Copies of this chain bind each other. A is one copy, B any other.
């Protein structure tokens, strides 16, 4: 039996404590699978005195997580501090320059600094792994890096944020509006006190950028993710979608456009979309995550599971640790970071597809004609149009407001954007129109 693999663990929130629990509970099977035992030698967290329900006395304590990079005899730093920069990044850099491998659940740090960290790890022949940074307990980083390794992947998309999916599923089931469901999710601990990163799609964008880099062999481009959240979705939209045979999901979608068989431009979007009820993602409810990757030989692969939580995230962190213990320590993004290709960003408006548009309008004659004219002028062809009778969330019948929803035939998003831009100037509209792509089946 080889030497134990020794860990220095930074961050003892729910995930950190979950990792300690897992290593304890599943000790024997991890040793059997890893071929060696895994031992924690040092830990760091903000408050030493807090009762976390675990005995920390066997471990060396460090007040400053950055000290863990220097702990003697540790092979691996496990970074669960969080935050794209600050102590987490300093610790990550320090670990790799001190000859330690790095396992992290930090999606923001990897999305922003993953290329630099990968280059540093590769230069020193050290492992860098971040399965837990994407989609919690679902082994989708390994799924792309290893399972789909034989494929040219041209599309990766999925439900990458459990909070948003929970909110949308709840709105769907209860008919409640966004603000109420969000408040309830916060009360239940399914949403943060400041939910901005989740509901505005930033968290999903971090994950999408990481998946796109691994799947496409592209340089990480988090800033290139066009990001829109779910805060403008009304229960009326969900009802309209249902009537049309769809559910609304916040999707991260990364497309690699091919020109003459060569990867050319990268399109990364996080957006609420209409998902046809026959699509596997339409049945992903609650805080569950799911990722689809389309390979040129594998076809469509789906990975689904818990997107967050102490247990699932610890499961992903320790899966990385087991891989390292087994000596499986290849390039973090599947190809060496120097070979990740710089991809131009594709123009958002060039995408073609069917789409859903919703307008809140003053309830008076001529409004519909105005919308229809704007669509005609922009070359948008209307497939169906619904003007429901039920009142709106804000205002509604007594406010003299009405809702108009429409589905446009397959066309360029730029054309729809042009029509919407023209209408935004109109005083017939009482709010900014909402545009959602319709996912093809």
Task: Give residues in A with beta carbon < 8 Å to B.
Answer: 18, 22, 25-26, 29-30, 32-35, 131, 137-139, 142-143, 146-152, 217, 280, 283-284, 290, 295-306, 309, 311-312, 314-319, 321-323, 326-328, 330-331, 334-336, 339
Contacts and interface: CB of A to CB of B under 8 A. Distances in A.
B283 A298 contact: no
A25 B296 contact: yes
A139 B297 contact: no
Main secondary structure on chain A at its contact with chain B? mixed
B143 A147 contact: yes
A150 B22 contact: yes
Contact of A300 (B306, B316, B336): B306
Given A32-B335, A298-B305, A305-B302, A146 B150 contact: no
A13 to B, nearest CB: 16
A399 to B, nearest CB: 38
A383 to B, nearest CB: 26
B149 A299 contact: no
A315 B32 contact: no
Contacts of A314: 150, 297
Contacts of A22: 150, 297
A299 B283 contact: no
A438 B32 CA distance: 35
Contacts of A330: 35, 326-328
A49 to B, nearest CB: 27
A329 to B, nearest CB: 9
A152 B283 contact: no
Contact of A298 (B298, B315, B322): B315
22 contacts: A26-B297, A30-B150, A32-B217, A33-B217, A35-B330, A137-B295, A139-B147, A146-B323, A146-B328, A150-B314, A280-B304, A297-B312, A298-B306, A298-B311, A298-B315, A299-B305, A299-B309, A301-B305, A302-B302, A302-B303, A302-B305, A326-B328
Contacts of A301: 137-139, 303-305
A26, A142, A147, A304, most chain B CB atoms within 10 A: A147
A131, A139, A280, A334, most chain B CB atoms within 10 A: A139
A312 B339 contact: no
A18 B297 contact: yes
A336 B34 CA distance: 10
Contacts of A300: 305-306
Given A298-B312, A319-B149, A303 B306 contact: no
